Amino acid sequence: MSYKKDYERGILRKEGLEAYKDVFDDSTLRGIFRLISQGVISKIVGPIKIGKEANVFVAESSQGKKAVKIYRVSSNFKKMYDYMAPDPRFTGMKRNKMSIIYSWARKEYRNLLKAREAGVSVPTPYAVYKNILVMEFIGDAEAAPQLNKTEFHHPEEFYEMLISNIKKLVQDAKLVHGDLSAFNVLDNDGRPVIIDLSHAVTLAYPNVATLLKRDMNAICTFFNKRGVKLDSEEEWKKNFAKK
């Protein structure tokens, strides 16, 4: 029986998943089945987020809900390569499409592990295989919303919690997110959870200070629109500039 026939017979299906058949190419399906056979997940039940670079789905498992992030094999792997090439952790990386996409998935897995070990509020990573990353599901019955979809009652408190986590990421995990915005921070019942760490780089990365300043500017701009009076340059100096 072919993998696509398995899909059609319901191993990966749930209401609405038929619209995302293009995500599950044969290689990805084989990876999903491997994770199922290993007991990491039992089945995929629905989409959380559909993007150009990756798609995130809810999966069931014996431990409860999990999130499954599948990087598209049609992603801009050249852009990924250019981003990873200066990273000391990826010296000698092969310059072919699938190798780069698989390395990108492993990069996010490693970054999540480092962040969790440092006490940063990020999803717990459980497994990575090929272009598939399995991690903690953030939320209850529904997935926790992104900040851009949140109505804040106390935006100042939320910002302070978020900046505390960004400081842990930089000072303890020795990572800079590099692509931080309201789209990759979740509001988990009033507490921030930072997601999408595939872009995160070590402090040895070229121009890392510029990336951190860009992150701070994006976050300060967002919270300024929510009534919190912030100056991104002052926040940078107060929290990250070397004394």
- Catalytic site residue from 179, 187, 189, 231: 179
* 179 is an active site residue: yes
Written as six digits, the tokens of 241 are: 């500039």
132 three-state secondary structure: strand
- Catalytic site residue from 82, 196, 215, 231: 196
Instruction: Give strand ranges (E) for 51-155.
Output: 54-60, 66-71, 125-129, 132-136
Residues 6+ apart with CB under 8 A from 56: 47, 48, 49, 67, 68, 69, 70
d(CA 207, CA 200): 13
Residues 6+ apart with CB under 8 A from 69: 54, 55, 56, 105, 108, 132, 133, 134, 135
Name the CA radius of gyration of the chain, rounded: 19
What sign for the dihedral angle of Cα 106, 107, 111, 112?
Answer: negative
* 196 is an active site residue: yes
The residues annotated as belonging to the active site are 179, 196
